Structure 1
Amino acid sequence: MAASGLPPEDQLRCQICKNIFTFPVTLPCGDNLCKTCILREWDHSVHCRCPICKEEFDKRPQLQPNQDLSKMAACLKKYKAKEPCSSTQSQQKVATLGDISCDECTGLKLKAVKSCLVCLASYCETHLKPHLMTKGLKKHQLLDPVENLEARMCSYHNKPLELFCRTDQTFTCMLCTLLDHKEHDYLPLSEEAEQKRSVLRGTEETLNRMIQERRGKMQDLRHTSRLNQEAADGKAAVGLQVFTDLKQNLQTGLDELLKNIEIKQVTAERLTERLIAELGQEVKVLMQSSADVQVLSSSADHAHVLRSFSSVNNIPAMKDWSDVSVQIPLYEEMVRKAMVEAVDQLQATFKKEKAKLKEAELKRVQKFKVNLTLDPQTADPWLIVSDDGKQVRLGDFKKSVPDLPKRFNPGGGVVAQQSFGFGRFYFEVQVTDMMKYDLGVVYESINRKKKITNSQESGHWILSLRKENEYKARASHEIPLSLTHRPQRIGLFVDYEEGLVSFYDVGIAELIFSFTDCIFTERLYPFFNPGHGSRSSASLKIGQ
């Protein structure tokens, strides 16, 4: 006896699920089974028979609940709930909030490890053992614990949803395929799920690649940020040093000016003091002579007056002060001279620092240098493109070539094979001995069947040379340029996002002209035109 007054435990277990009876029913043959187990068994079978004694019934019998067996099974469950957990059970986790619990545990509910789609129940490790050991239960479909197992049963035929209808994109049971989904395309859930997993794996690979690309871009941006900070700090330090030096030079000039003014002022002051002292001495002598004259003239002693007259009536020999003066120094001239020297020094410093900045700017844009190759299929019939695609010159005659839509004919010109729709790029062109040329960038949609003219919709940003020394910047309108130096090599820099197109005289690191605040709406193609009138031997050569 499993417990006082109860039959052996194996007599209280269902022979299908191997668990203690739940709602036991008695078949006409006398065998007892769980109601859910026998109904499920018959739902998956064409004939109604007892799975224990194999007795077959003509029709599905009316199942009678076995109340006595049900009460004994309930008592056994209560008795087992009071028993101490086995060592295996003690190692299992107790179901907590959010966990799926075992449906067979009574009392303390353990965490389920599997769910059965046939039994529509979830089991802990202990109650799962019959499904792993019993021949009939091994065929049941197990999966990781899930909630709401009833939702995995067909609501129309009370059978497991084992198939996936691709036509209606829904789950079906075996009977559905014979009725509502008869002509539809369907697969077992496992096959459809595996195909979806394959798609998901591809999606995961794509997502991982996108993640890596963005992480790489983040790393690049962080690196760019560091470079930007370093460049900003470096240039700020250079600027600070330049202006500190300028300030120091100005301060030195000011100190020298003030010192010279002070020297002039002190020298004049000392001269004045010396002259005043000398005049004071003479005043004393004259005052003494005046006093002697006054005393003698006031004397009543006629004989004394006559005897002393010759010695007293003499005016002392004195310096002629009529032409003596102290000139105020020309302080204005000193200030002017100091200012001229300061300006000259500043200009020399500015020229030196400007040259450094120009050279640094050119080196900066040269970092974005790209490798260009001319596209001969776009070249005007009068133009000859070298085999390596790096040179173009004016030919002696017009070639017979297919008039392709992308060919410049007439009007002259050729574009590179490469185009740019974002970022920055730079290239150089040798223009030695050229008397006429056009260099720049153009839209892909530019009209290639007529000469390039200036208009708001022209789609070109070009530096032009005419008559050997007339330079113009051409876009929506022409801008005459005054160049003091004839460029031999021209660099062209474009910042697509900033709307900037700049031309440089590479030989002297001088900016020739910049188109600013451009709004680009298409890809840009580097454009070259040696122009009619140039010597046939002169070529535009793309720098390496």
Structure 2
Amino acid sequence: MASAGSRADEQAFKCSICLSVFEKPVSLPCGHNFCLECITNYWGFSNPHVQCPVCRRMFATRPMLHVNTLIAEMTEKTKGTVPEESPGTVKQAGTVVLCSVCTGAKVKALKSCLQCVTSYCETHLEPHETVSTLKKHKLINPVKNLAHKICNIHGGYLELFCFADQEFVCEACRNRDHKTHKLVTLEEAVQMIKTQLEKEKMQEALAKMETTVMTGVRMLCDPDLKEKQRHAVDVTLDPDTANPYLKVSADGKQVTHGAKNRNLSDTPGRFDQVFNVLAKDGFSSGMFYYEVQVKDKTHWILGVVNQSIKRKGDLQLSPKIGYWTICLKKGLQYTVNTSPATNLDVRKKVHRVGVFMDYKEGQVSFYDVDARVNIFSFSGCNFTEQLFPFFSPCPNDGIKNSAPLVISPVKYNS
């Protein structure tokens, strides 16, 4: 049975996708680590826009993946720190170091010899305890892949880690090339990595808590929605920007996703792959407000966008490239497309969304009109071009999401 210490070590080096100890761990630019195969499969092979499964940070291009040698070595060290079990134990789950000499069913190694570069069970270790020349060999606790843990220069065990050069070294290396460098034992390095990972998890938890608290504060303290409704404007959809699968009503007030491509001309302003449509008129100053009915829908996206956004190909939604949007996914999760995306704690289903924009102040706010509360606000935005109301009814999903997005008249009570 594994000790509490070994279980803690393995927990610190587990992939958050497969929940197993890392195999070929790779690091993303955001600092999170995953098995190479896990993150490759998670991203798939066709979508160029990828994100971290943990912090949800989006990457405009797929990062180059290289094995994190420090995490890999620490993982191997963790796998080797397995407590005592009775002889005859067969290797399980890659955590037990087996005797290199046993034939047939191999049993657990008791020690590894640095000179022989071999791991021995209790029976095959006996010569090292009785033969005088073998008694001089250095024995260590059993380690997997022992040959990779021997210094190529001095032949010593790589039992120290150098922070200056980010590499493992032996005692002879310490005395020659690393005299002024900070060195720690493998056990200390494991503990430091564990502490770092725990701090990252704590920071993520605090960030999520802060988002939830700030959302609640905004919902309680936002000024009266009536003040925003004073700036209501007449918004009409522009069919010349609509994806060919979208149906825009004759009055320009409704949009739905259809089952067939309408084979419309592929003009420069038309979205060709994603199911989006813009309003006819944009705004480059002042304040404006409008409302959209989203009742009976399970998936939608609303907001404002820069006039210069891409219209062709698959698109990433982020303020960095001119999108300030909110969406509902799977009928349950409300998300704002910050960078990375932020999930909102909205517990009551929203039927009408109010969208308010203050160009000068750099603010875009979303409201639950019926509850008369603020859902989320982008603030401190730097608007430099014309902004257009943005709509996506998203795919029908059979009939689950067939209801239209409807631009509703604003009922303002003075």
Q: TM-score range by the shorter chain?
A: 0.3 to 0.5
Higher helix share: 1
Calculate the TM-score normalised by the size of structure 2.
0.44
Calculate the TM-score normalised by the size of structure 1.
0.34
Larger CA Rg, structure 1 vs 2 = 1
Higher strand share: 2
| Highest RCO, 1 vs 2 (Cα 8 Å, sep ≥ 6) | 2
